[in-house]
Amino acid sequence: MSLRLATFNVENLLTRFDYTGFRNQLRQDRVLQLFDVRSEEVYQQLEAARVVAATDDTRQMTALAIADADADIICLQEVDNMAALQAFEYGYLYRMVGNGYRQKFLIEGNDSRGIDVAVMMREETRDGQPIVLNDIKSHAMVTYDHFGLFNDELAELGHHSEDKIFKRDCLELHLHIGGVPFSLYVVHLKSMGPAREGMDGRHTTMPIRRAETMAVRHIIESRFGAGHTATKNFAICGDMNDYQEWVDVIGTRRTGYRFEPRNEESGSALDIFTRDGFVENVMRRRDALDRWTLYHARGPQEQRLCQLDYIWLSPALARANATRSPDIIRSGQPFRTIFPPGQDVERYPRVGWDRPKASDHCPVVMTLDLI
């Protein structure tokens, strides 16, 4: 009996407009910066028109990527609300995959922009096994005090012990798949912020993600018992906004590119998951140049391919699926993404240099045998 599980950051699946760019140019879309818009009312009209015009192509590609993943359960990040998810599933996915995701779950979290984690599930797996949700729980209200995770690093960043740990949420679901128990933890960890006090944004925000990963581990160990998690069927899915390795992309379009794998030596928040074999990053079963889910660039001087999107498996699930590895759906990537040799794919119709696109992130999907 198998389950096809996926995760995908769909990027800003919103039902509202952001008009803050009129007063804060850093938040203004680049196309509107080409025009001299002196009235806020006119700016709002133009911004709304721009978003509406661009969204249809973007969401068609997002839906194509989800259809290609063909998952029984898909974990999503950056969903505005249930209304947005329902409108997207009915208006776009339904046309591509039929009425396949009738079960949808979203609980409002802590993100200041209102983007949440969500889950869509079929009623049955592709093998015809029922997918039954027994329990769902949000951990958005958990504070550092609750889990004893407050420390000096967080205090130096201006946080307090009563602050909430998760900057979005950890959504916990307990299911039976064809009668077999399976637990799922869906997260979207703290994003890498801007540089601060001489440190890059990733390392500045590392203490927050480290607390979030410790909290996820605490939640799982509280459920199954510390030292007893290895034999359980569970997975952690989502956008981790961190990595333990990456690929440097060196060169330009004119000179050509070379690709150099790197390992993180200064530590990652994800070390909390991998130390002592708590879970396995099954993406490591793929070639070192073929594990990336996102292309990041700050000009030609910094270009990277890295894995931000993960399906972490419990030791029991990893062993039961020892000969399998995840698939990565990259057809929705913009043309600016630089692919290593032999990896380029046919993009979806109307994909642009930077936009439209399905997302900067790639869906990750894996077929699992449940035991």
Q: Is the dihedral of CA 317, 322, 323, 329 positive or negative?
A: positive
Residue 322 burial by CB count (10 A; 0-12/13-18/19+): exposed, middle or buried? exposed
pLDDT at 76: 98
Q: In what order do the strands lie in the sheet with 180-188?
A: 131-138, 170-177, 180-188, 234-239, 309-313, 280-281
Nearest one of 326, 335, 328 to 357, comparing CA atoms: 335
Q: What is the pLDDT of residues 302-314, one digit of tens each?
A: 999 999 999 999 9
Q: What is the pLDDT of residue 199?
A: 72
Tens digits of residue pLDDT in 172-206: 999 999 999 999 999 999 999 776 666 788 999 99
Query: What local confidence, expressed as pLDDT, does residue 100 receive?
Result: 79
pLDDT at 39: 96
Q: Full-prediction pTM beyond 0.85?
A: yes
What integer pLDDT is reported at residue 197 of this predicted model?
A: 65
Sign of CA dihedral 147, 79, 345, 68: positive
Query: Among 222, 242, 240, 220, which Cα is nearest to 317's?
Result: 220
**365 closest CA partner among 320, 340, 338, 330:** 330
pLDDT of res. 201: 85
Residue 96: its pLDDT value, please? 85
All residue ranges of the chain with pLDDT < 50 are: none
